[in-house]
Amino acid sequence: MKPMDVETFKEVYKKRFEDVYAIQYHMGSTLEQFQVLGQVLRGYYTDYWIENNQEKIDNQDKQVYYFSMEFLPGRQLKTYLLNLDVYDTVKTGLTDLGLDFDKIVEAEVDPALGNGGLGRLASCFMDSMASTHVYGNGCGIRYQYGLFKQKFIDGYQIELPENWLRNPNPWEVRKESKSVIVRFGGNVWLEEQKDGKLKPKYEHTFDVLAVPYDTPQIGYRNGVVNNLRLFSAEIPYDEESKYITSEQRQEVNSITEVLYPDDSNYEGRLLRLKQEYFLSSAGIQTIVRYFKNLKLPWTRFPEKVAIHINDTHPTLCIPELMRILLDEEDLTWEQAWNISKKTFSYTNHTILQEAMERWPVYMIESLIPRIAQIIYEINARHIRNKTELYGSELAYKTAPIQDDQVLMANLAIISSHSVNGVAKLHTEILERYTLSDFKTIYPFRFNNKTNGVTHRRWVQLANEPLSQLLDKTIGEEWRFQPKEMRLLRSYIDDESVLDQLQQVKLTNKKRFAKFVSEQMNIEIDPHAMFDVQIKRLHAYKRQLLQVMHIIDRYLQLRDNPEAKLAKRVFVFGAKAAPSYYYAKQIIKLINALADLVNNDPRINDMIKIVFVENYSVSLAELIIPAADLSEQISLAGKEASGTSNMKLMANGALTIATLDGANVEISNLVGPDDIFLFGMKADEVQVLRDSHAYNARDIYERDPQIQRILNSLIDGTIPGIKSEGIDIFNSLVTDNDEYFLLKDYHSFYQAQMKVDINYANKKSWTQKSLINIAQSGKFSADYTILRYASDIWNVAPETEVLQQ
C-alpha cells in the first residue's frame, strides 16, 4: 500500500479543508470535518480503484454480480481506514490537529438501504468478496429514502422519513455516462424480419433512465477495490423529455424514492414490481455491455460472468437476460436458456409462506409485456419437458405460473444452476419440505451456504479492546484468518487472560451505559448482566417470549425483593413493519413494561429494560460488544439462519437459543456446556402442528406461573397498555398461540434460571465466553464467500492468505 505518514496527512487535510470551506479547519463543524476527510481519503484510494477497474478489463477475470434489493453497509469511514491500513495514521493526525476522531466518525450517515438480515448479509458479502480477492460487483437501488427512522411517542412506534442523502455522500460517484434505459409498459408484438426471424416491436413504452452511483468496496490490505453499484431512476434527457408531464416525472422519481419497509409479509404492490424490474434490467444491461466489450462469443458468457440473486426479489434478471439474448443478440431459445442457466444462482432466505413473492400475471403483462411473454415460454417449456420425465403432477406443481400468478421462487429455481439455503437446518427443511418437489427434479441443484459475518466490522472495529487483547494473546494472524481465533482456547485456564477478558466486557458495557444514560436518561449498572435481543420485530422471533420472562421475574421480585435472581438489563432493538399491527402492539407492550419496571422502587433496580430507538447497524456496533447474553429464541424451523447470533458470539456473549437456523451450528461448535438450549426442535414443532392437538388455553388454565404472567397483560398490572394487552393475551389464549410460546415457556424459563446460576460464577462464565469467541472465527463471511466462489460461482480467488 502507498505510504502515508502523519505529517503529510495533516498538511493535506488542512489544505483541503481551507480550499473547500475557506475557513481554518478547527473552525469547521464536525460534518465539514468529516466531508473533508472523505475527500482526502478518496484522493488516496482512487488510484487503486482505477487500477482495479483497468485490471478487470485487461485480465478478463470472471466477475460475480450480486443482485440485491437491499444493502445495509453501515458507516464506511472506519472500514476504509482499516482496510487501507491508515487507521492509526489518520486517527493520530486528526487528534494532533485537535479534532475529535470519534465525533468525526459519527458524523457520517448510516445508509439504511435495507430492512435487516438480508441486506446486512449482502454488505458483509461485499466486504468479504473484496477481502478474499473475489471480483464481486454489488447491484442494488439507490433509494432516496432508506428504512424509516423509528421514534417512540408514548411508547408507540412512529415512522419518520430517512433522508440519508441530505448531505453529500463523499464515497459515491455518479456515472451518468454509464446510464441505461429501462423500458416499461406499452404494447409489444412480434414482427417478421426480412430474414424470416421474429423481432419484437414496441410502441408507447414508458422509458426510464437508470443512472449508476458507484461506491468502492475496499479489500483488507490487499489492494482490491470492488464496486457497489446502486441505480437511481431519472427522466431520460433527450429531446422528447421536454414534453414529459409532471405526473410522469413523479412516476419516474417514485421508482427509486423509497425502500419498502416490510421484510416478512409479501404485498403485491405495482411500485415494488417496478423497482424489481428496474434493478434487474439496469443491472443486466450493464453486464451485457461489459461482456460485449470482451469481444467473446456468447457461449463463453458463463465463463466470464456469474449472477447471484439475493432471494427472489431480483428474479426478473433471468427473463431480462433471456430477452436481450433473444431479441437483441439473435440467439436461439436453447442457446439463451443454456447460457442463463449456467449463469444464475439463487439464495433462499425464508421458509415463511407469507413472505414468498407471487405476482399476478396481469400485472407483469401490463408493466413488462415482453418479459411476460418470456415467462410464459419458460413456463410452457417447463411443463412440457418435465411432464415427459416426471409426469404432469410434478411438472405443474413446480411450474412458475400457477393460478394466474408468477411464483418467483419457482421461476428462480428452475432457471438457475444452484439454489442454496443459509444454514444447515434451513437447507434441510427446504430440501425435505418446502422445496421437496424441486429436489426430486433437480437433486444436485441444492446446496447449503451457512451465513457468515465480517469480523473486520463486527470485531476489529466495533470491539477495539477485544481486538487488542486478541493481538496480545494470540498474535495478529486472526485479523487475516479469523479461524485463528481458536488459538484463544488454550488460555481457558489463564487467570490473567480471563481477567482481561472481563475488563474488556466491562469497558464495552460502560460505553453502552454512558450512551443509555445520555440518550435515554436511564441509569444502568455495568455490573448487571446485559441480556440482548436485537432483530426485526416479528411474531416468529418471539420477542414476546422474552417479555413473558421479564414479567415473570418482575412479579417474583415484587413479591420478594430478595429473590435469588441475577441483576439484569434487558436490551431490545427492533423495528416493526409499519403495517404490522401485532408487532407494533408488542413494541408498545415492551415500552409500557419498561416504564413500569424501570421506575418501580420495590424491585431495587434488579431489572432495567432498555428499548433503543431506531436500531441500526451503528447501534448494533455499540450494543453487541456490550452483550453478555444473546437471545436467539425463534420458534424452531422459522429463522432461516440469523446473523446477530454470530456477531454476538464473536463478541463473547453466551447464547440462549432454540435449535433454529445457525444456532444449531453454533451449538455444535461450542458444545452443550457453553450454550443454553431450550424448547421444541423443528421436527417436534412440525409434529405438534400437524397433530392439531395443541391447546394453548388449556396450558393457560392449568399452569399457575403462565396464568399469572398472562393475567398481568389484562388486569392493569402494566398501566401503560390499553387494548394491546387484551389483543396480545387473545393471540396466545384465544387464537391458540401460533408460535407455541406457552409450550416452550417452561423450558425457556429453566434455561434462563440456569443462565442466572452460571452468571454468578464469574470465572466459569468468562471461560464460556472465551470459548464462544474462539469458535466464532468459523462464521467469518470470508469462508462463506470462498465456498460460494468455489461451489457456485466457479471463480478461484488468489487466496494465499486465506485457507478454508
Displacement of CA 176 from its chain's centroid (Å): 29
Helices 246-255 and 270-293, axial angle in degrees (round to 10): 70
The span from the CA of 389 to the CA of 500, in Å, is 64
The count of other CB atoms within 10 Å of the CB of residue 297 is: 6
421 touching ligand 26M, by CB under 6 A: no
- Taking CB under 6 A as the rule, does residue 422 contact ligand 26M? yes
Q: Are 619 and 521 in contact (CB under 8 A)?
A: no
Nearest approach in angstroms of CB 349 to ligand 26M is 4
When asked if residue 508 is in the footprint of ligand 26M (CB under 6 A), the reply is no
If one counts every other C-beta atom within 10 angstroms of the C-beta of residue 618, the result is 18
Give yes or no: 647 in active site: yes
Residues 445-484 that bind ligand 26M (CB under 6 A): 451
- For 402-467, the three-class secondary structure string (H helix, E strand, C coil) is ECCEEEHHHHHHHCCCEEEECCHHHHHHHHHHHCHHHHHHCCCCEEECCCCECHHHHHHHCCHHHH
As measured in angstroms, the least distance from the Cβ of 636 to ligand 26M is: 13
The catalytic residue among 79, 343, 643, 784 is 643
In degrees to the nearest 10, what's the CA dihedral of 259, 264, 267, 269? 20
Quick one: which of 73, 74, 93, 116 contacts ligand 26M (CB under 6 A)?
116
Residue of 127, 320, 639, 782 interacting with ligand 26M (CB under 6 A):
639
Answer yes or no: 178 catalytic: no
Q: What is the DSSP string of 663-712?
A: HHHHHHHH-GGGSEE-S--HHHHHHHHHHT---HHHHHHH-HHHHHHHHT
- Cell numbers standing for residue 275: 423497482
Interaction of residue 661 with ligand 26M, rule CB under 6 A: yes
Can residue 350 be called a binding residue for ligand 26M (CB under 6 A)?
A: yes
| Residue range at the interface with ligand 26M (CB under 6 A); choices 29-37, 100-108, 240-248, 350-358 | 350-358
Contact 765, 114 (CB under 8 A): no
Closest contact distance (angstroms) between CB of 580 and ligand 26M is 12
CA dist., res. 518 & res. 512, Å (int): 10
Among 36, 105, 121, 406, indicate the residue that binds ligand 26M (CB under 6 A).
121
CA distance to 152, 156, 717, 718, 724, per residue, from 721 (Å) = 14, 10, 9, 6, 6
Residue list 36-75, contact with ligand 26M (CB under 6 A):
70
355 is an interface residue for ligand 26M by CB under 6 A? yes
CA–CA distance, 317 with 322 (Å, rounded to integer): 9
Asked if 665 touches ligand 26M (CB under 6 A), the answer is no
CB of 247 to ligand 26M, least distance (A): 24
Residues in 302-321 that interact with ligand 26M by CB under 6 A:
313
Stretch that binds ligand 26M, among 35-43, 116-124, 338-346, 679-687 (CB under 6 A): 116-124
Instruction: From the candidates 313, 349, 449, 456, give the one annotated as an active-site residue.
Output: 349
Should residue 641 be labelled a site residue for ligand 26M when binding is judged by CB under 6 A? yes
Could you confirm whether 541 is annotated as catalytic? Answer: yes
643 is catalytic: yes
Q: Which stretch binds ligand 26M (CB under 6 A): 111-119, 381-389, 663-671, 788-796?
A: 111-119
Q: At its nearest, how many Å lie between ligand 26M and the CB of residue 536?
A: 7
Contact 442, 413 (CB under 8 A): yes
Are 325 and 335 a contacting pair, CB within 8 Å?
Answer: yes
Binding mask 234-273 for ligand 26M (x = CB under 6 A): --------------------------x-xx--x-----x-
- Are 438 and 389 in contact by the 8 Å Cβ rule? The answer is no
* Number of residues located near ligand 26M, criterion CB under 6 A: 24
CA distance 49 to 216: 7
Report the residue number whose CB is nearest to ligand 26M. Answer: 117
Instruction: Write down the catalytic residue from 536, 553, 568, 638.
Output: 536
> Residue 466 CB: number of other CB atoms within 10 A?
22
152 class by beta-carbon count within 10 Å (0-12 exposed, 13-18 middle, 19+ buried): middle
- Residues 6 or more apart whose CB falls under 8 angstroms from that of 453 comprise 124, 643, 646, 647, 650, 779, 780, 781
Instruction: In angstroms, give the least distance from the CB of 214 to ligand 26M.
Output: 23
Asked if 115 touches ligand 26M (CB under 6 A), the answer is yes
Round to whole Å and give the CA distance between 781 and 134.
13
Set 439, 647, 743, 768: catalytic member: 647
Give whichever of 52 and 543 is closer to ligand 26M, judged by the CB atom: 543
CB of 313 vs ligand 26M, minimal distance in Å:
6
Amino acid at 337: W
Based on CB atoms, which residue is closest to ligand 26M, 273 or 497?
A: 273
Q: How far is the CB of 793 from ligand 26M (least distance, A)?
A: 17
Toward ligand 26M, which CB reaches closer, 62 or 787?
A: 787
Cα distance from N-terminal residue to C-terminal residue, the chain: 25
Residue 83: which H helix or E strand, with range? helix 77-83
Query: Which residue lies nearer to ligand 26M by CB, 450 or 460?
Result: 450
Among 210, 196, 64, 190, which residue's Cα sits nearest to residue 141? 210
Cα separation, 125 vs 226, in Å, equals 12
Q: What is the closest distance, in whole angstroms, from the C-beta atom of residue 365 to ligand 26M in the complex?
A: 20
Quick one: which of 86, 118, 620, 654 contacts ligand 26M (CB under 6 A)?
118
Q: How far is the CB of 610 from ligand 26M (least distance, A)?
A: 24
Residue 349 interacting with ligand 26M (CB under 6 A): yes
Question: Which residues sit at the interface with ligand 26M, rule CB under 6 A?
Answer: 70, 115-118, 121, 260, 262-263, 266, 272, 313, 349-350, 355, 357, 422, 451, 639-643, 661
User: Which amino acids are annotated catalytic?
Assistant: 349, 535-536, 541, 643, 647
